[in-house]
Amino acid sequence: MITGVSDAACFLLAIGLLVRLHMAPTGLSAVRDAVSDYGTTPWHRNYRVMVVALGAGAVLLAIGLGRRTDATGLFWLWIYGAGRIAIAGFMTDRDPPPFTREGRIHWLLAGVAFTAIAFGASNIRWTGDPAILHPLGVAVAATAIATLLTRIIVGLRQVFGLAERLLYATSLAWLLIAAADLISR
């Protein structure tokens, strides 16, 4: 039960910090700007703690599901968790160019993490898992694709932030429901 409670606590902390970042006077647009742009503001510590909490929660969830269920595909949670923790050390380039080495590493880690949570949420299953997780996992994958498309298609970049925030919302919902299910076991 400790992993269900501790991973849920990590996800709730991440949600709280994400909300706090959106309320902070940063001048960022939730529709246009990336969530990682908060890491370039005076509120960067909140951003860094948020991504570490997401990563730690995902690793704890993978451990708990591995110990107490017959879940498969848990390596996706490990990849997501490692990517989220590592990204705390590499802040993005806000409004590039120029592109820095640190910013490129950030985008690589973000791509790895977003891909991992998309595959994880849409494929990780276990006996007795909550029925809502499957359609929610499809939503995570769809929002990950939308995030990618709004990043690479120049005409859609003005809504990149919205797509990414939908990815955060669906991912956090999936992770939190999975953690809650683990608590009940």
What pLDDT sits at residue 10?
98
DSSP 8-state assignment for residue 181: H
Domain that holds residue 138: 2-183
Cα gap 47→49, rounded to integer Å: 6
Q: Is the pLDDT of residue 2 over 90?
A: no
Provide the domain count of the chain.
Answer: 1
Is residue 159 within 8 Å of residue 153, measured between CB atoms?
no
% of the chain surpassing 70 pLDDT: 99
**How far, CA to CA in Å, does 157 sit from each of 9, 52, 70, 164?**
33, 27, 40, 11
Cα gap 5→31, rounded to integer Å: 32
Per-residue confidence band for 3, with pLDDT thresholds at 50, 70 and 90:
confident
User: Taking residues 3-24, what's their average pLDDT?
Assistant: 96
User: Taking residues 8-17, what's their average pLDDT?
Assistant: 98
What pLDDT sits at residue 96?
79
